[in-house]
Amino acid sequence: MASTGTVPATMKALVKTKEAFSFDLQTVPVPEPTGDEVLIKVDAVSVCGSDINMYTWNDVAKVIATIPFTPGHECAGTVVKCGPDADIPVGSKVGVENHYYCGTCYQCTHDTREICLNMGQFGHGRQTPYGGCSEYTIVPAKFLYVLKRSLTPDQIAMLEPLGVAHNAVERLDCRGEDVLVIGCGAVGILVQKVARSMGAKRVIAADIDESKLKFAKELGADITVNTKEKDLKEFIKSFTDGVGMGRICECSGAAVMVNATFPMLRKGGQLVLVGLPKQPLHVENVLQDVVFKALTLKTVHGRRIFHTWRETEALVAEGKVDVDQVITHHFSMTQFEEAFRVLMAGEACKIVLYPSQ
Ligand SMILES: NC(=O)c1ccc[n+]([C@@H]2O[C@H](COP(=O)([O-])OP(=O)(O)OC[C@H]3O[C@@H](n4cnc5c(N)ncnc54)[C@H](O)[C@@H]3O)[C@@H](O)[C@H]2O)c1
Ligand SMILES: [Zn+2]
Ligand SMILES: [Zn+2]
């Protein structure tokens, strides 16, 4: 068993142990890696919008998580010890692919492991109790992405949400095209940045929250539209001289916006859905707005394993996407309550926590 440095006997960790608001900050034993497991020291963990579900323990949480677990699925770390069947060099900087694929189902054997039929999920209590909100964590070697370039812990943690954005934008041919991005949360902002890096002509950003639009504009959106004040369909109609939008990436998760994408698309347009609507979808005029448009509709879940990681690592290392700009807040993990307050108040884009501080 390879190891380095002194690993303490106990560590701080956030744990969800009961169906109630918040997490518990506990002192727990540092786990021992067995088999193909790797013990990593967590350098940074970014907070995802979906972590709010688990923090508040709402109906969505009951679908996406299983108690007990340590939250935090956007995790950057350093390998400190390998189990007998893992051989990642100690000291390696790693990101965690939190879609724990089985490796044997139809999807896994057809190069689409990110949509594995039997998927577990790190940070959600799915097939593992571990997550990134702890000083050390355990991840099987096959779910670790070993960095080849020198990135900061913040940047490595950001490869997870950036990967979702990259996976989405890669489904669109956006070179030389105007791209409409609906929703300016962390995912939408990252989509805007990736679209730009892939040669989009202009980025049009839409949201209902003026502060999110202001942030999108600061980070490079060409045009912003407040959909509370303006009818987005009417705006797109006049913006495109009635032709419709060629490329749309839906990142708000608002069902009303997903529905609105179809009438806004031009004939032959391309749409990728990233946001997760909680209500059924409805398209009024299926003939005119869907079939006769000869559309391309793509949806994504997670990152292509590990294609996306290689691509996003290069984008960040080469300075083509500045993920640090997207991080608005940094907290010690012990300040998690304040971090979630800020996130839930809509004051943050991306928040990074440091478990060892
Ligand atoms: N498909 C995937 O693999 C995947 C991965 C990560 C996140 N997601 C989903 O992507 C979405 C975005 O994630 P996020 O972390 O950026 O979330 P977020 O909540 O931070 O961002 C959503 C944004 O959409 C805006 N919005 C809400 N209703 C709107 C409306 N009617 N019109 C315009 N804008 C509206 C909000 O103001 C907010 O800025 C969420 O639905 C999330 O669950 C999907
Ligand atoms: Zn996430
Ligand atoms: Zn599988």
Domain count, the chain: 2
The answer, yes or no, to whether any atom of ligand 1 lies below 6 A from the CB of 326, is no
Please identify, by atom number, the ligand 1 atom nearest to the C-alpha of residue 49: 15
Query: Ligand 3 (ion): which residues have CB within 5 A?
Result: 101-102, 105, 108, 116
Assess whether 75 and 133 both reside in one domain. yes
Assess whether 174 and 141 both reside in one domain. no
Domain boundary among 280, 299, 318: 299
- Whether the model pTM is above 0.95: yes
Assess whether 180 and 265 both reside in one domain. yes
CATH of the domain at 77: 3.90.180.10
What pLDDT, on the 0 to 100 scale, is given for residue 187? 98
d(CA 171, CA 272): 7
Ligand nearest to C-alpha 123: 2
Ligand 1 centre to CA of 222 (Å) is 20
The answer, yes or no, to whether any atom of ligand 1 lies below 6 A from the CB of 274, is yes
Ligand 1 centre to CA of 141 (Å) is 31
Task: Give domain status of residue 186, yes or no.
Answer: yes
d(CA 53, CA 150): 33
The answer, yes or no, to whether any atom of ligand 1 lies below 6 A from the CB of 153, is no
Could you tell me which residues come within 8 angstroms of residue 207 by beta carbon, excluding any fewer than 6 positions away?
Answer: 182, 183, 184, 188, 213, 216, 224, 226, 227, 252
Torsion angles phi and psi, residue 228, rounded to 5: -80, -30
For ligand 1, mutation pick of 252, 343, 347 (most atoms within 8 Å of CB): 252
Task: Give domain status of residue 308, yes or no.
Answer: no
Task: Give domain status of residue 283, yes or no.
Answer: yes
Task: Give domain status of residue 137, yes or no.
Answer: yes
Assess whether 111 and 175 both reside in one domain. no
Task: Give domain status of residue 4, yes or no.
Answer: no
What pLDDT, on the 0 to 100 scale, is given for residue 5? 66
What is the residue-level pLDDT of the chain in tens, covering all 357 positions? 555 568 999 999 999 999 999 999 999 999 999 999 999 999 999 999 999 999 999 999 999 999 999 999 999 999 999 999 999 999 999 999 999 999 999 999 999 999 999 999 999 999 999 999 999 999 999 999 999 999 999 999 999 999 999 999 999 999 999 999 999 999 999 999 999 999 999 999 999 999 999 999 999 999 999 999 999 999 999 999 999 999 999 999 999 999 999 999 999 999 999 999 999 999 999 999 999 999 999 999 999 999 999 999 999 999 999 999 999 999 999 999 999 999 999 999 999 999 999
- Residue given tokens 């000083």 in the structure block: 135
Assess whether 224 and 113 both reside in one domain. no
CATH of the domain at 293: 3.40.50.720
Could you tell me which residues come within 8 angstroms of residue 318 by beta carbon, excluding any fewer than 6 positions away?
Answer: none
Give the residue whose CA is nearest to atom 18 of ligand 1. Answer: 185
Task: Give domain status of residue 152, yes or no.
Answer: no
d(CA 148, CA 118): 29
The answer, yes or no, to whether any atom of ligand 1 lies below 6 A from the CB of 348, is no
Could you tell me which residues come within 8 angstroms of residue 251 by beta carbon, excluding any fewer than 6 positions away?
Answer: 168, 181, 182, 183, 184, 185, 187, 188, 191, 274, 275
Q: Could you list the residue range(s) of the whole structural domain that residue 335 is in?
A: 10-146+327-354
- Residue given tokens 């749409």 in the structure block: 271
Ligand 2 centre to CA of 47 (Å) is 7
Assess whether 99 and 16 both reside in one domain. yes
What pLDDT, on the 0 to 100 scale, is given for residue 4? 53
Q: Which sign, positive or negative, has the C-alpha torsion 344, 345, 349, 354?
A: negative
Task: Give domain status of residue 321, yes or no.
Answer: no
What pLDDT, on the 0 to 100 scale, is given for residue 3? 54
Q: Beta-carbon neighbour count of residue 211 at 10 Å?
A: 12
Assess whether 282 and 333 both reside in one domain. no
Task: Give domain status of residue 112, yes or no.
Answer: yes
Assess whether 168 and 129 both reside in one domain. no
Assess whether 274 and 347 both reside in one domain. no
Nearest to 18 by CA among 63, 68, 55: 68
